[in-house]
Amino acid sequence: MKTLKKLLLLTAAVLCCSGLFAQSNKKIALVIHGGAGVILKKNMTPEKDKAYREKLQEALDAGYAILENGGTSEEAVIASIMVMENSPLFNAGKGAVLTNAGHCELDASIMDGKTLEAGAVAGVTNIKNPVLAAKAVKDNSVHVMLSGKGAEAFAKDEGLELVDPSYFITDRRKQQLEKAKTMDESRGHLGNPEGNNNFKFGTVGAVALDQQGNIVAATSTGGMTNKRFGRIGDSPIIGAGTYANNQTCGISSTGHGEYFIRLAIAHNISAQMEYKGVSLQDASQDVIMKQLTDLGGTGGVIGLDKEGNIMMTFNTPGMFRGFKKVNGETGVFIYNDEE
């Protein structure tokens, strides 16, 4: 009897330890971006460089702490994105770029790789954190995408924090708009061939893999400077700006949205993995460095797969980005010659 008791205790201890071991071995990972574009070291002051890196690190830490503590990938990407939406440094939430009329029209989306459920808002002007509205659309509506006044009414019903539209506007973006208005329309954006740092973008995105093996991706943006006529980019479009599928990968895009929509960039990468059996890295190389580049588009993507492999691929001089993996690998980067 005594031996049996001992054996039972030993078995329980082994099971318990292996449980803990399994937990600490989970492949949690988080990757974020704060926009791709003509971001050149020579145009960046040391103070600005530092400010961006610190904010990226803060966003990364906020999301990763959630994953480490057993939280969901959805909670993690939302925490990371909210840090960046609340910072005037990025083109999302406060500090978003201005439309031709001088105000902010914000887009955001989120997708759950386990259920393939998704939510998005487009062209909203008074929702403090558009990523929360995207999540609310996913969870509490029968739709995937809501726009403009309707999306704002929905957010109000959901009890989300609303702000006066002036909350989002910063002097820096006002100056950028004035400059953009003096340029030919096709150049007043990310693809600006003159490499004017003023037009670097700052759309934000995050993709996470949690301890349950679930992938969630989300993206939030103000779109493109000087946009008109209710222009909507790729960021709120599932399959272009955001995509997640536990079987393949999660992706968040940043770049010249019109090209990202036409190439269905985020789904394109997932589909190549699914149908061709290629790696996340190879799929993104093909989609960004070949398909997007050949079409004349600029920008980048971040992503991760179910094994926690991280990908950050872009064809611009820079992309604000960072990642953290369970094996301790981590970093934040700005220019294309880092990593």
Q: Which residues are catalytic?
A: 203
By beta-carbon proximity to ligand ASP, the closer residue of 64 and 320 is: 320
Distance CA 106, CA 125 (A): 6
Report the distance separating Cα 256 and Cα 17, nearest Å: 50
Q: Give least dist CB 224 to ligand ASP, A.
A: 5
Q: What Cα–Cα distance (Å) separates residue 241 from each residue in 2, 40, 193?
A: 62, 24, 23
SS3 6: helix
The conformation of residue 165, written as its DSSP 8-state character, comes to: G
- Minimum distance between the CB of residue 118 and ligand ASP, rounded to whole angstroms? 17
Q: What share of the chain is helix, strand, coil (3-state, %, to 5)?
A: 40, 25, 35
Closer Cβ to ligand ASP, 99 or 221, answer by number: 221
Question: What element of type H or E holds 53?
Answer: helix 46-68
Nearer to ligand ASP, 192 or 211 (CB): 192
Residue among 28 and 224 whose Cβ is closer to ligand ASP: 224
10 Å CB burial of residue 24 (0-12, 13-18, 19+) is exposed
Listed in order, strand segments (DSSP E) in the chain are 29-37, 106-112, 118-124, 145-147, 204-209, 215-221, 242-244, 249-255, 299-305, 310-314, 318-325, 330-335
Shortest approach of ligand ASP to residue 34 CB, angstroms? 10
Residue 26 to residue 46: CA distance in whole angstroms: 37
Question: Could you tell me the smallest distance in angstroms from the CB atom of residue 208 to ligand ASP?
Answer: 19
Q: Which residue type does 293 have?
A: T
Cβ proximity to ligand ASP, 63 vs 233, nearer residue: 233
CB of 43 to ligand ASP, least distance (A): 17
Closest to ligand ASP by CB, 95 or 255: 255
Within 8 A by CB and 6+ apart from 86, the residues are: 93, 94, 129
Tell me whether residue 72 or residue 176 sits nearer to ligand ASP (CB atom): 176
The neighbouring-strand residues paired with 314 are 300
Question: Minimum distance from CB of 174 to ligand ASP (Å)?
Answer: 18
Minimal distance in Å, beta carbon 245 to ligand ASP? 21
Q: Write out the DSSP string of 107-162.
A: EEEEEETTT--EEEEEEESSBS-HHHHHHHHHHHSS-SEEEHHHHHHHHHHTT--B
Question: Is residue 274 packed enough to be buried (19+ CB in 10 Å), middle (13-18) or exposed (0-12)?
Answer: middle
| Residues binding ligand ASP (CB under 6 A) | 35, 91, 190, 201, 203, 221, 223-224, 233-235, 254-255, 257, 260
